[in-house]
Amino acid sequence: MVHRGPDDEGYEELPLGHGDAGPVAGFGFRRLSILDLSPAGHQPMFDEKTRDCLIFNGEIYNFRALRAELQCAGAVFRSTSDTEVLLKALHTWGERAVEKVHGMYAFAFYHAASGRILLGRDPLGIKPLYVAALPDRLVFASEIRAVLASGLVGRDLDLGGISGMLAYGAVQAPRTVYRDIRSFPAGHVQWIDSSDAAAPVAGPPRRFWNFPLAAHADDEPRVVRKVHDMLHDAVLRHLVADVPVGVFLSAGIDSTVIASFAREYTPQVTAFTVGFGSVHGEDEVALAAETARALGVKHVSVELDADNMPQKWHDWLAGMDSPSIDGFNTYVVSSRLAAEGVVVGLSGLGADELFGGYPTFTRAPRWSALLRGLRFVPRGLRRSAVAAVGSAAGSPALVGKLADLVAGDTSVAGVALALRRSLSDARIRAMGLAPDRVGLAGDYLEPAGARIGPALDGDGFNTVARMEATHYMRDTLLRDTDAVSMRHSLEVRVPFLDLPLVDYVSALPGHVKRGQASKALLRKAGGGVLSSRIMRRPKTGFTLPIGEWMRGPMREPCDAAISTLAGQSFIDGAEVRRTWQAFVADERAMHWSRPLSLVVLGTCLG
């Protein structure tokens, strides 16, 4: 855990229940100093008067307003940190404090008077929290490996978690690959009470936030102005730090909007772009530099060294806390930015989910209608019908993902989730795992509708937005971004997920956000500060030749991981090897993501 907090460490033992002879809780913390760099920000942090104690990972963006409110109620502060604000807020308002807090966080709060502990996690799951609740003990941490390192939790595998990883390329919350470890649910709090040694957890977690129902919107000019102003406020709050803050700048609209607003508040802000030219032949550096010049911000281009990529690959796999196929790009970017002295970086993550940046926003409603129609086709002909329509639409790759749904969940939410599949039921069945472990229902994964909260009355856009936010964004993008950036002691902040902005945009009817171009509302709200040519750029991103590397310079560690996975008793080792050999022999046999899921799973289990 040192990589998460290289600046300071602390540990305290706290009595649980009543009396000093009972059980104790151990609070340990590693600090990455960002606000109030003095020793006054040390954690675990105690309230000198009440002896309440807090360990807290993340940032509270409205801490100044909360501090002023608490001072009016008589609170006295000895630091300028947001940690102390959260500590006193929890004492003053109890668990309801989280309903006032805007930020990214995971915390454990010790209430001295009752000897209880309150766990909490931010609404969107930006910061991780893993919990192992056993009959006579409870272990929690920011990383799975820290839970295991306690020596108090077993390593028995969860085949549901493993199946989810193969199905979607990342383990699906609340499961992990270990049976006794769970991801604490986002937007929830839970009291831990040790008064009954046989049942240390006092009831299920309580949800304190959910996506709002879509409401009637103002006229378009007012909506655009409101989103514009809220984006300004979000970026301003995310710039607060006592260390240098940088902006990740690509050629896309998301980071461009953040950089433009950051420049208004912090003229000396630096925008960073990572160049992949020596690795892949082309990148976004030239377009990002053009944007930086238009904004008048300092621009630093950091070129990645192709010769170092095999070592980066090895380090990424070796440092993986939970298997995922999606984090390598962010890992190499984070390593370079940290080497440049960046401690806090602003990212455009979340804009695609909030404003409609993925093809699923149009595909899921269209395919849902098609699949519902096919329910009247005889069962034996349904797969052929899906294949025919998929080929006619130029999307044969969708056939395997959607065929399993014809007789199942054909809702927009269900189809949106299916479109994120990496492996179909049939392929996972071939690996020797039961197909019900990768279905859309059951205890492996909540039904699609349960994930998105209140019914959306046929609003396909908002249905997809909420499914993307509670599935791909939370379980893959946010988890991976936090894990790989913190490996380099780099805090990534996501202004597009500022809670007031999320609440407002999520409550807008889908038709207000839909347009001819993707993220139409964001393009309008970000207008006025950039040229129309820059704002009309299509969605961009960087890709690395991962498939080539897996067959070439990374072949040896990949072979080792495949051997490890093939040797596991829960999976068909022969099928694992066949899949890998087919990929190695012919690059056209399959997309590299399929064998990569086997490689990262084998590495994690090694």
Same domain? For 85 and 117 the reply is yes
439 contacts: CB under 8 Å, gap ≥ 6: 408, 425, 445
At residue 582, what are phi and psi to the nearest 5 degrees? -65, -40
What's the mean pLDDT in 34-49? 93
In this prediction, residues 33-59 reach a mean pLDDT of 94
Type and span of the H or E element at 211: none
Average pLDDT, the chain: 86
Token pair 């046999």: residue: 589
Residue 287: the pLDDT is 85
What confidence tier does 276 reach under pLDDT thresholds 50, 70, 90?
A: confident
Domain total in the chain: 4
Instruction: Say yes or no: 11 and 149 in one domain.
Output: yes
- For residue 541, tell me if it sits in a domain: no
Q: How far is CA 380 from the centre of its chain?
A: 39
What's residue 445's pLDDT?
43
Residue 187 CA to residue 409 CA, distance in Å, equals 26
Q: Per-residue confidence at 129, pLDDT binned at 50, 70, 90?
A: very high
- 214 part of a folded domain: no
- Are residues 421 and 520 located together in one domain of the fold? no
212 within some domain = no
Residue 449 confidence class, pLDDT cut points 50, 70, 90: low
424, pLDDT greater than 50:
yes
pLDDT at 441 > cutoff 50? no
- Model confidence at 21, pLDDT cuts 50, 70, 90, reads low
Model pLDDT, residue 537: 64
Region 188-215: what's the mean pLDDT?
79
pLDDT for the residue numbered 444? 38
Which range is least confidently modeled, 2-11, 141-150, 534-543, 551-560?
A: 534-543
Single out the residue in 511, 535, 559 at which a domain terminates.
Answer: 535
Statement to judge: residues 417 and 480 lie in one domain: no
| Residue that finishes a domain, picked among 535, 562, 591 | 535
Residue 126 pLDDT level (bands cut at 50, 70, 90): very high
Domain assignment present for 61: yes
CATH of the domain at 281: 3.40.50.620
Average pLDDT over residues 170-197: 89
Tokens for 551, please give them: 């067959």
Q: Judge contact between 292 and 271, C-beta under 8 A.
A: yes
| pLDDT for position 391 | 62
- The angle at the Cα of 575, spanning 572 to 581, to the nearest 5 degrees, equals 140
Confidence of residue 438 (pLDDT cuts 50, 70, 90): very low
Global confidence as pTM: 0.92
Q: Work out the average pLDDT over 192-203.
A: 64
Backbone angles phi, psi at 109, to 5 degrees: -115, 125
Residues forming a β-bridge with 118: 109, 191
Pick left, alpha or beta for residue 146 (phi over 0 → left; psi -120 to 50 → alpha; otherwise beta): alpha
Range of the domain at 447: 360-460
Is residue 558 a contact partner of residue 566, using CB atoms and an 8 Å limit? no
- Is residue 187 in some structural domain? yes
Query: What pLDDT does residue 274 have?
Result: 81
- Give the pLDDT confidence of 239-250 residue by residue, as tens digits: 999 998 999 998
> Does residue 555 share a domain with residue 474?
no
Average pLDDT over residues 588-593: 84
Higher-confidence residue: 287 or 149? 149
Of 571, 574, 587, whose CA–CA distance to 602 is shortest? Answer: 571
Q: Is the pLDDT of residue 310 over 90?
A: no
Nearest partner of 134 among 193, 183, 200, 196, judged by Cα: 200
Q: How far is CA 593 from the centre of its chain?
A: 19
Name the more confident of 11 and 539. Answer: 11
Closest CA to 410 of 382, 378, 442, 372: 372
- The CATH code of the domain that includes 75 is 3.60.20.10
Q: What number of other Cβ atoms are within 10 A of residue 209's Cβ?
A: 17
Inform me whether the pLDDT recorded for 164 exceeds 80: yes
- 42 and 181 share one domain: yes
Mean pLDDT score, 457-475: 90
Whether 273 and 407 map to the same domain: the answer is no
Q: Which range, of 159-163, 267-271, 541-545, averages the lowest pLDDT? A: 541-545
Residues 135 and 14 placed together within one structural domain of the fold = yes
| Range among 133-137, 199-203, 301-305, 464-468 rated most confident | 464-468
Residues 236 and 306 in one domain: yes
pLDDT of residue 390: 62
Tokens of residue 220, six digits? 């378009």
Query: Per the domain annotation, does 215 fall within a domain?
Result: no
Write the pLDDT tens digit of every residue in 290-303. Answer: 889 988 899 988 77
Q: Look at residue 354 in the predicted model and tell me its pLDDT.
A: 97
Lowest mean pLDDT among 143-157, 343-357, 365-379, 431-445: 431-445
Widest Cα–Cα separation across the chain: 72
- Rounded Cα gap, residues 509 and 451, in angstroms: 19
Between 73 and 395, the more confident residue is 73
Tell me the average pLDDT across 402-417.
74
Question: Are 25 and 16 within 8 A, CB to CB?
Answer: yes
* 391, 170, 554, 570: CA torsion to nearest 10: -100
Q: Are 92 and 75 in contact (CB under 8 A)?
A: yes
- Is residue 485 pLDDT above 60, yes or no? yes
User: Quick one: 333 and 472 in the same domain?
Assistant: yes
* Among candidate residues 535, 558, 576, the one where a domain is terminated: 535
For 322, the token pair is: 């939970």
**pLDDT, tens digit, 9 for 90 and up, residues 61-84:** 999 999 999 999 999 999 999 999
Calpha distance 470→479 (Å, rounded)? 12
Structure tokens at 487: 């490996």
345 and 372 housed in the same domain: no
State the DSSP string of 131-188: EEEETTEEEEESSHHHHHHTSSS---B-HHHHHHHHHHSBPPTTB-SBTT-EEPPTTE
CA distance linking residue 30 with residue 382, whole number of Å: 55
Is residue 213 in some structural domain? no
Pairwise pLDDT comparison (278 vs 130), residue with the higher score: 130
Those residues whose C-beta lies under 8 Å from the C-beta of residue 85, and which sit 6 or more positions away, are 60, 63, 66, 67, 70, 77
> Which tokens hold the place of 2?
């040192």
Render pLDDT for 225-266 as a digit per residue (tens, 0 to 9). Answer: 999 999 999 999 999 999 989 999 987 889 999 999 999 888
The answer, yes or no, to whether residue 394 has pLDDT greater than 60, is no
Provide the pLDDT confidence category of residue 440 given band limits of 50, 70 and 90.
very low
Nearest-angstrom CA–CA distance, 192 and 110: 9
Do 131 and 243 have their domain in common?
A: no
Answer yes or no: are the C-beta atoms of 557 and 550 closer than 8 Å. no
Residue 386 lies in a domain: yes
Residue 15 tokens read as 């009595």
